[in-house]
Amino acid sequence: MLKKDCDCVTHDGPHWLHVDKLHSEANQKLKNSNDIILAARGFAIEECARLEFKRLSMVSRGIEELLEDAI
């Protein structure tokens, strides 16, 4: 398991992974629009931004891969 790096009481593990999970959940809600094209576009834009931030976070910490059971 990755080490906790904050004083938050709402999650375990690194704060940046917690924030990533929150953004992922928020992005999933974007798909629930009646305008399918707008929803898909918004989802794609936000997911690209989230994943780029996650990639940069991993690179800066020297992490090459996240295993589900290690999170």
pLDDT tens digits, 8-58: 999 999 999 999 999 999 999 998 888 999 999 999 999 999 999 999 999
User: What is the C-alpha separation between 66 and 48, in angstroms, rounded?
Assistant: 18
User: What is the C-alpha separation between 56 and 10, in angstroms, rounded?
Assistant: 24
In a domain, 40, yes or no: yes
Residue 27 CA neighbour count, 13 Å, CB half: 18
In a domain, 48, yes or no: yes
Range of the domain at 31: 22-61
In a domain, 44, yes or no: yes
In a domain, 50, yes or no: yes
In a domain, 17, yes or no: no
Stated pTM of the model: 0.82
In a domain, 12, yes or no: no
Count: domains in the chain: 1
In a domain, 10, yes or no: no
Neighbours of 20 (CB within 10 A): 19
